[in-house]
Chains A and B, each alone.
Chain A
Amino acid sequence: QKEVEQNSGPLSVPEGAIASLNCTYSDRGSQSFFWYRQYSGKSPELIMSIYSNGDKEDGRFTAQLNKASQYVSLLIRDSQPSDSATYLCAVHMDTGRRALTFGSGTRLQVQP
């Protein structure tokens, strides 16, 4: 079992729709969770961080965390073609390590 799992996609949504990206993680003691966006050939760019159970909203983005289910998600409202990218879920695991553990990413395609 991978430590951080994401569906590789592609996830295709029409412009203006809600895109829902999901991530599960294996370490129950994980405390910090991050979503990064990565355009092809570019480096990861931070979208949101979330530390507590529940929802966290920032503009068109909402991160949701459920530690009991070991599940974190990212919702993108009013999806735009410019949102087309790979979305990486990253977890700071409770292993004493400071590094982030990344999923392999979900590719999102927003159709105009």
Chain B
Amino acid sequence: DTGVSQNPRHKITKRGQNVTFRCDPISEHNRLYWYRQTLGQGPEFLTYFQNEAQLEKSRLLSDRFSAERPKGSFSTLEIQRTEQGDSAMYLCASTGGGVETQYFGPGTRLLVL
């Protein structure tokens, strides 16, 4: 399977706990995006990497959120001290070359109790 993969697919946690999600982009895609989607809304941009450099961060990305992409391959998104409002689907997308089309992974559904 050469698509974008994300792990875990589902995560249930208690408020105040830290969680970490992983995204493996399509091979050789140098651009990687994180989005968050809540019920009834379209995906909202969180952050963007080109290779290992984090080039853009949304205002949605509070200081409890951190993302990294060591060596320009997989990426992790960590949420510290989770809140109930963090419950959402976290989506990763990748693209590469001169193409702007973004391909999404299956997402990680987070539920904060």
Binding site for B on A (CB under 8 A): 4, 8, 32, 34, 36, 42-46, 49, 88, 90, 92, 97-105
Contacts and interface: CB of A to CB of B under 8 A. Distances in A.
A58 to B, nearest CB: 13
Contacts of B31: 98
A104 B105 contact: no
Contacts of A99: 33, 35, 45, 48, 56, 58
Contacts of B91: 43-44
B1 to A, nearest CB: 14
Q: Could you say which of B41, B91, B105 has the most chain A C-beta atoms within 10 Å of its C-beta?
A: B41
Measured as residues with beta carbon below 8 angstroms from the partner, the interface class of chain B is: 20 to 34
Contacts, number: 59
Main secondary structure on B side of the interface with A: strand
Interface of B: 31, 33, 35, 40-45, 48, 50, 55-56, 58, 89, 91, 100-107
B45 A104 contact: no
Contact of B48 (A88, A98, A105): A98
